[in-house]
Amino acid sequence: MARFDGKVAVVTGAGVGMGRSTALRLAREGARVVAADISGEEQSTASEMPDLIVPFKVDVTRASEVESLVAEATGRFGRLDIMCNVVGVAGVAQAPLPEVDEDEYDQLMAVNLKSVYLGMKFAIPAIVTAGGGSIINWSSVGALVSSPNTGAYGASKAGILAMTRSAAREWGAENVRVNAICPGFIYPTGMTLMGEQRFPDAVKSASSKSSLNRPGHPDEVAAVAAFLASDDASYMTGSYLVVDGGWTAGA
């Protein structure tokens, strides 16, 4: 049997990059997946494996839409076992802190941090009803190491780690495991492609920080997500795994 036979997953940001790779990886291992995105590219992801993946358009910063997303999974498939909160943005509010635009700050926090809060808010009760399961939240090496002009971004990603730990403590007795992934420079993703357009020098610098002398690929992060979602990680909760090619080893 595949690891996720009989399991149901929701993956946000599933139109491109790590979200797309994660949706496909879980489906290849037997899960039925709701691939969620706002871009329309979730349709392309679902078309790769239409028997196992269904698309769902959602704005993950809006509570009513995230509630509908979870309801789609439970209504269509009868349960929810895995929630992957992948959506994130960079290159917004990227400036020295006194120069950060307040509207950009609010946008960054909504996409990066509020989306994870909403994903857990609606997924946890559904996963409890299913008898337990796994939540994986996408943080970043930016939560662990700092650099100029990234204070707001780092704060949003550090907040994800704090919420991950709290949720793990709150829901462990209900067999809900909550972990996070801290990717380094992964290419291509929606985030890195946008950053490449707006901040090419910063992207070039980030791509050179890996000890492996290359960027990571979304499939490499998806493999770690699949591990955390599976029973192979049955005693892991409230933790995070760094997938950065050795970036933070030299920080």
Which CATH number goes with the domain that contains 163? 3.40.50.720
Query: Mean pLDDT for the chain?
Result: 93
2 is a domain residue: no
Mean pLDDT over residues 67-83, rounded?
Answer: 98
26 is a domain residue: yes
Name the residue with tokens 């609606």: 122
163 is a domain residue: yes
Report residue 115 as tokens: 């989306």
What is this structure's pTM? 0.93
Residue 197 has pLDDT above 60, yes or no: no
d(CA 71, CA 121): 13
Mean pLDDT over residues 184-209, rounded?
Answer: 65
Cis status of the peptide bond prior to 188, with omega within 30 of 0? yes
User: Confidence band (pLDDT; 50, 70, 90) for 133?
Assistant: very high
212 is a domain residue: yes
High-pLDDT (> 90) share of the chain, %: 86
What φ, ψ does residue 224 adopt, rounded to 5°?
Answer: -70, -40
Please tell me the predicted confidence (pLDDT) of residue 186: 94
Residue 199 has pLDDT above 60, yes or no: no
Q: Give which of 80, 98, 173 is closest to 135, Cα–Cα.
A: 80
190 is a domain residue: yes
Please tell me the predicted confidence (pLDDT) of residue 204: 60
Mean pLDDT over residues 85-93, rounded?
Answer: 95
1 is a domain residue: no
d(CA 23, CA 11): 6
β-sheet with 8-12: strand ranges across: 53-57, 32-37, 8-12, 82-85, 133-138, 176-183, 240-243
Catalytic-role residue among 105, 117, 153, 240 = 153
134 is a domain residue: yes
Number of domains within the chain: 1
179 is a domain residue: yes
What is the extent of the structural domain holding 55? 8-241
- Active-site residue 117, yes or no? no
